[in-house]
Structure 1
Amino acid sequence: MFSRTRTSVLAATAALALTAGLGLTVTGAHASGSKPSGSSGPSGSTGPSDSSESSQGSAWTAAWAASPQRASTGFKPNWSEDGFSGQTLRQVVRVTEGGDRARIRLSNAYGTSPLHIAGATIARTKKGGGAAVESGSVRRLTFEGRRSVAIPAHGQLSSDQAGLDLKPFESVTVTLHLARTTGPATFHAQSFATSYRADGNHVADAGAGAFDESTESWYFLSGVDVAGGGTGEKPRRSGGVVLFGDSTTDGFASSTDLDRRWSDALAERLAEAGTPRPVLNAGIGGNLVLNDSAWYGERGTARFGRDALDLPGVGTVVVLEGLNDIGFSESDTPTYKPAPEVSAAELIAGHRELIRAAKEKGVRVVGATLLPLGGSDHYGERAAKVSDEFNEWVRTSGEYDAYVDFDRALADSADGERMAPEYDSGDHLHPNDAGYRAMARAVDLEQL
């Protein structure tokens, strides 16, 4: 159960014993004044703190996030099961909030031994440069004042702040030197963005020459936070929006390296409307509300606190999840078997857990109807019936603070059971880039 990922004194003590004399700071519990972040269940009673005051007294805001998963094979080749040894890992992410200071959050949630970070940097990404970063923008990251750190098994931490001016929608590059053997890596399987690897220590390189391997997953990196206004103005405090869900939220079938997920589209729409807010993606491909999966992460009711409610500065969560709960039992896919047949009442009960958890934290929670699934491998008479019943509950119950109707927004006008062809990625289950933009357009921004 992931509730044990809250870093304990015993874990920190064990890690300290392992790293004594090696110049490493053990801080699974906190860094830069942060509190421990654990997943306790849906309520997520404590989190990356950090909501947040920096050491200078400015509130931290999550500007980018990814939900951690245990190492697994996944749909595309990745490095999670083998891990890293004597290598440098470079990862590119796009922030949806700006500031003049930045820090990173690292997760060893599913590690069984301390994760040793020998060095880390953050920099602005060079446009069109792949693994290259802007010359002069590289900032060394420290952890409680030291360049190296060991994160205990099941722990996570934040770095100290680094002075770096970032604008909303700017890409940043985080580089980690993993000098020791990590073992299986806590990661996020489907990034739809390219990450890079090099042998040796290239943590401070501005150029891309050494980074001759690539993958489409993120490893150990679970967040980038910002503070300050970047140009002297006060940072926005309307509250970040977290999108919580499965592969549709994660951005499955969106264009790689182009930031075309529905989270990206929503952040852009908010900015265009003159109401900019950070939008954080807490989707995991294949995730379920009610059941854990080796490939698809812990169930939504277990990870909701860690991955959504505890993010620094969160004000609203939009929940879109349940198609896998009702659709895996219709599918021939071997990745989640045996799949239980889930009723509408059971799925609704799971969503009620999420609603209660959000309200306990004072976070606004918006429900979403499930997208049309006709013609997909998740479709069948039973799944269609449960989907209809669940969607009607979302629309009429009033239990969510508000709702967005993706079912109707993306439906084919000629067949409401199916996704409109112009929005269909081809599998009749996931939207394409245009479909993700349509999802963002379907949101009443006032409801956020």
Structure 2
Amino acid sequence: MLAALATVGMALALVTPAASARESWHPGWVGAWSGSVQQASAPPWGEAGWSAEGFDNHSVRQVVRVSTGGPTLRVRLSNEYGTEPLRLTGATVARAGEGAAVRPGTLRPLTFRGSKSTVIRPGGLLASDPVLLPTAALDELSVTLYFAGKTGPSTQHNLATELSYRAEGDHRFDRSGRVFDETSESWYYLSGVDVVGWLPWHRGSVATFGDSITDGFGSTPGANNRYPNELAERLVAAGKPLGVLNAGISGNRVLSDSPCFGEEGIARFERDVLDQPGVRTVIVLEGINDIGFGSLDMPGECGLPTREVTAEELIAGHRKLIRAAKAEGLTVIGATLLPYKGAGYYTPEGEDIRDTVNEWIRTSGAYDTVVDLDRALADPNDPDRLNPAYDSGDALHPNDAGMHAMAAAVDLNTL
């Protein structure tokens, strides 16, 4: 068995990409986990994290849960927003234990074109060589990166809803995790984990594209209760071997960039969805921030540009996403925008736009199919409000029960 897996690994090593995603992803790879990257920033809520200062003689251990498994994996790293070459001294991957600990006997060094160290150019993406570390769906992995020198500001994913760990010095092979005495709720440079499926027909993943609701804000940190995680659990229970990739960025908008909340959806869609290995379906849930931010006077640069949008503009943005996905042969599922009456940026005018956009999503036929999250999560006594049983407390973001309800509303046969 191991000899056969080694043969698979050596064959795949010949096609492991060094930079551009779409040009060279091997069809045998399936996306098992992803985190959409952002530039270094401190948003107006949450923690500042380590992205602005970067790393210098630090080991960073990051925990992710894969949605599907296989005998061989690889790790993808991004220097998308770096202004200088990123010098990675070395890295490891293992099955995660409690906290920063890893499970005995599972630590594996990562190599890049056969070398333990590598350099990623500014704006670049790099995949590791294949690693023989068998994983099952819903396994948690720890990826440890060691930077001997200064990195400068780091490409990140700000709202991980999961702890990452940092220690001074080279602790790639530390098993206990006790030296990792700093924590952050962001991911750094880590953008994907791919697997080679256990079965020949294990050939695909579902991308969930959106904002903080997809990202998991409002769910319990460290519990993997984001709606894409819940969807992955449903697929596993149903015996459907599909990966689920989370392409949510908190605060993101379809039509506007922000240094804190990521590039506009129509700009990042190619990188965060179309370039992901093995994607066959995408669920689009985005637009409530375009509507809501227009009513706010946000301090600093995070909210810029603040502008009012019309329903027609937002629909035109959705049409661009649909065209891009269909051009690549993907199934495109439209999710209606959730109720938000009572949220900090709610206005009656915004509600009219949400209603118009949702009716278009339901009835236009532009999407291949629709998941009506608006109706699934609405308060039975006031359909413009989030059901109190699903409200995390801000009238906008679902709690764990709400995330579960979102995943339950998806017809698995459409994926």
TM-score range, shorter chain: over 0.9
The answer as to 2:287 corresponding to 1:312 is no
Equivalent residue for 2:408? 441
Give 1:221's aligned amino acid: L
The answer as to 2:342 corresponding to 1:342 is no
Map 1:73-84 to 2 at 5 A. 73-74=42-43, 75-84=46-55
Matched residue of 2:326: which SS?
helix
Equivalent residue for 2:3? none
Provide the C-alpha distance between the structure 2 equivalents of 1:338 and 1:234, rounded to a whole number of angstroms. Answer: 47
**Offset, 1:34:** 3.8
Provide the C-alpha distance between the structure 2 equivalents of 1:192 and 1:158, rounded to a whole number of angstroms. Answer: 24
Assess if the C-alpha contact under 8 Å between 2:33 and 2:64 holds in 1: yes
Equivalent residue for 1:157? 126
**Relative to 1, partners in 2 of residues 1:385 and 1:125: Cα closer, same or farther, differing over 3 Å?**
same
Equivalent residue for 1:270? 235
Equivalent residue for 1:33? 15
**Offset, 1:33:** 2.5
Provide the C-alpha distance between the structure 1 equivalents of 2:227 and 2:190, rounded to a whole number of angstroms. Answer: 21
Give 2:36's aligned amino acid: S
Map 1:112-151 to 2 at 5 A. 112-126=83-97, 129-151=98-120
**Offset, 1:306:** 0.5
Map 1:211-222 to 2 at 5 A. 211-222=180-191
Provide the C-alpha distance between the structure 1 equivalents of 2:234 and 2:404, rounded to a whole number of angstroms. Answer: 9
Provide the C-alpha distance between the structure 1 equivalents of 2:241 and 2:296, rounded to a whole number of angstroms. Answer: 40
Unaligned runs of 5+ in 2: 1-12
**Offset, 1:332:** 4.6
Provide the C-alpha distance between the structure 1 equivalents of 2:273 and 2:347, rounded to a whole number of angstroms. Answer: 31
Equivalent residue for 2:253? 288
Assess if the C-alpha contact under 8 Å between 1:49 and 1:310 holds in 2: no
Assess if the C-alpha contact under 8 Å between 1:87 and 1:197 holds in 2: yes
The answer as to 2:391 corresponding to 1:408 is no
**Offset, 1:227:** 1.1
- TM-score (ref. length: structure 2): 0.94
Equivalent pairs, count: 399
**Offset, 1:444:** 1.4
Give 1:189's aligned amino acid: N
Equivalent residue for 1:110? 81
Assess if the C-alpha contact under 8 Å between 1:120 and 1:147 holds in 2: yes
Give 2:258's aligned amino acid: S
Provide the C-alpha distance between the structure 2 equivalents of 1:311 and 1:48, rounded to a whole number of angstroms. Answer: 11
Map 1:45-444 to 2 at 5 A. 47=22, 49-50=24-25, 52-53=26-27, 59-74=28-43, 75-126=46-97, 129-229=98-198, 233-234=199-200, 236-237=202-203, 239-334=204-299, 335-444=302-411
Equivalent residue for 2:6? none
**Offset, 1:447:** 1.8
Q: Output one character per residue of 1:300-344: Cα deviation in whole Å (capped at 9) or x when no partner.
A: 000001001111110000000000001012235434145111000
Give 1:161's aligned amino acid: P
Assess if the C-alpha contact under 8 Å between 1:37 and 1:306 holds in 2: no
Give 1:117's aligned amino acid: L
Assess if the C-alpha contact under 8 Å between 1:78 and 1:215 holds in 2: yes
Q: Output one character per residue of 1:83-126: Cα deviation in whole Å (capped at 9) or x when no partner.
A: 00011000000001111111100000000000011000000011
Give 2:63's aligned amino acid: V
**Relative to 1, partners in 2 of residues 1:48 and 1:426: Cα closer, same or farther, differing over 3 Å?**
farther
**Offset, 1:283:** 0.1
Matched residue of 1:99: which SS?
coil
Matched residue of 2:344: which SS?
coil
Assess if the C-alpha contact under 8 Å between 1:34 and 1:48 holds in 2: no
Provide the C-alpha distance between the structure 1 equivalents of 2:155 and 2:213, rounded to a whole number of angstroms. Answer: 21
**Relative to 1, partners in 2 of residues 1:215 and 1:419: Cα closer, same or farther, differing over 3 Å?**
same
**Relative to 1, partners in 2 of residues 1:37 and 1:396: Cα closer, same or farther, differing over 3 Å?**
farther
Provide the C-alpha distance between the structure 1 equivalents of 2:212 and 2:349, rounded to a whole number of angstroms. Answer: 21
Equivalent residue for 1:13? none
Give 1:236's aligned amino acid: H
**Offset, 1:234:** 3.6
Deviates more, 1:393-402 or 1:437-446: 437-446
**Relative to 1, partners in 2 of residues 1:48 and 1:432: Cα closer, same or farther, differing over 3 Å?**
farther
**Offset, 1:65:** 0.2
Provide the C-alpha distance between the structure 1 equivalents of 2:81 and 2:67, rounded to a whole number of angstroms. Answer: 27
**Offset, 1:164:** 0.2
Provide the C-alpha distance between the structure 1 equivalents of 2:71 and 2:104, rounded to a whole number of angstroms. Answer: 18
- TM-score (ref. length: structure 1): 0.87
Matched residue of 1:145: which SS?
coil
* Structure 1 moving runs of 4+ over 3 Å: 34-38
Assess if the C-alpha contact under 8 Å between 1:267 and 1:279 holds in 2: yes
Give 1:92's aligned amino acid: V
Provide the C-alpha distance between the structure 1 equivalents of 2:389 and 2:181, rounded to a whole number of angstroms. Answer: 37
Unaligned runs of 5+ in 1: 1-30, 39-45, 54-58
Give 2:69's aligned amino acid: G
Matched residue of 2:104: which SS?
coil
Matched residue of 1:324: which SS?
helix
**Offset, 1:434:** 0.2
Matched residue of 1:164: which SS?
coil
Provide the C-alpha distance between the structure 1 equivalents of 2:226 and 2:368, rounded to a whole number of angstroms. Answer: 24
